[in-house]
Homo-oligomer: A and B are copies of this chain.
Amino acid sequence: MAEIVTIGELLVDVMAETIGQSFAEPGRYLGPYPSGAPAIFADQAALLGIPTALIATIGEDDFGTMGLRRLRRDGVETRAIRRVPDATTGIAFVTYAPDGSRRFIFHMKDAAPGRLLESDLDPTLFAGCRYFHIMGSSLFSAAMIRTIRRGMEIAARAGAGLSFDPNIREPLLGQPGVAEAIREIAGRADILMPSEADLAFLCPGATTEAAIETLLGGGTKRIFLKLGAAGSLYADRARRIATPAFRVVEVDPTGAGDCTGATFLAGLLRDLPLAELLRRANAAGALAVAARGPMEGNSDAARLDAFMARADSSPVPADGTPDPPEPSPGA
């Protein structure tokens, strides 16, 4: 039984080693790292002990094997991950600009992630599901949008709430119907986890507060606005809670938003007090940005607790890594 069911791309990331590297010239890349926003989300939720299933398609290749192994190791229910013969596991190449922005080249819609079918939506997977979580990055083609909409119907019939992270990727917005689908699903979500850029896309020209009021007025129950280094802003009809970020040395922001969102939802499912679960979500995000690789910085509860305890007692930025071991006496 999965309390969270999520759906979409399980892929590998291949990441530029140096800031300012261009796709148009040879350089050094690190990877492949298991990735894909729904996969990162599922991995983090499972690490926190929430039964979580991912519905996805991968190729019959080593890239797919790596992702599948990682999710299994971390406790994700993977029986709805199908290996597609004759398609290659999806890839995202990532470069980092000096201003902190990222550029992507995706092999996704024509690769294994684009082969997801309505028949992959095993209804028994949704029994007992409390939230169906959708990533906007998975709405990359008309076929994916259709499949995910069908998943929303099955989830609703199973009594699950809808959780949505718009997670907008510029190169994907050009696909027909993608922008419309993101807007429509955002309007139907019980929980919305946007970034500031996502919020600006959903409510163009509005201030943050005006956008939040519009979205809460439209039916959304909870908004978890991810602000990166500025922390987060939680909003529901009764309150706003701003939670500062933990200070860390940023190594790689990829995946941090997905990881933060999963920790937020896991906290709701375990009925943690709001202030505490918001702080935990930010701690998870801090640990994620301190590690290279999209899900290399995902954390279990013990790691989150240790990090938060260390952050409380330390006036200097934590770097997210454990203290180095003492050298052994004979070394």
Which A residues form the contact surface with B (CB < 8 A)? 14, 17, 22-33, 61-63, 65-66, 69, 86-89, 91, 105-107, 110-111, 175, 293
> A29 contacts B29, CB within 8 Å?
yes
Partner among B17, B24, B63, B69 whose Cβ is within 8 Å of the Cβ of A105: B63
Whether B28 and A28, one on each chain, are in contact in the complex, defined by CB atoms closer than 8 angstroms, is yes
Kindly provide the distance from the CB of A16 to the nearest chain B CB, expressed in whole angstroms: 10
Q: Which residue of B lies closest to A296 (CB)?
A: B26
Q: Give the Cβ gap from A227 to chain B, nearest Cβ, in Å.
A: 29
Residue from B69, B86, B88, B175 in contact with A107 in the complex, judged by beta carbons closer than 8 Å = B88
Q: Which residue of chain B has the shortest Cβ distance to A89 in the bound complex?
A: B105
A322 to chain B, nearest CB (A): 20
Known: A17-B28, A62-B105. 17 other contacts (CB 8 A): A14-B29, A22-B62, A23-B32, A24-B63, A24-B65, A26-B293, A27-B30, A27-B31, A29-B29, A29-B30, A29-B31, A86-B175, A88-B105, A88-B107, A89-B105, A110-B111, A111-B111
Given contacts A17-B28, A26-B30, contact A88 B61 (CB under 8 A): no
Of all chain B residues, the one with the shortest Cβ separation from A141 is B86
Contacts of A88 in B (CB 8 A): 105-107, 110
User: A175: which B residues are within 8 A, CB to CB?
Assistant: 86
Chain A to chain B contacts (Cβ below 8 Å), 9 pairs: A14-B14, A22-B62, A26-B293, A28-B28, A28-B29, A29-B29, A87-B110, A88-B107, A88-B110
A14 to B12, CA, bound (A): 14
Shortest CB–CB separation between residue A137 and chain B, in angstroms?
16
Please name the residue on chain B nearest to A109 by beta carbon. Answer: B86
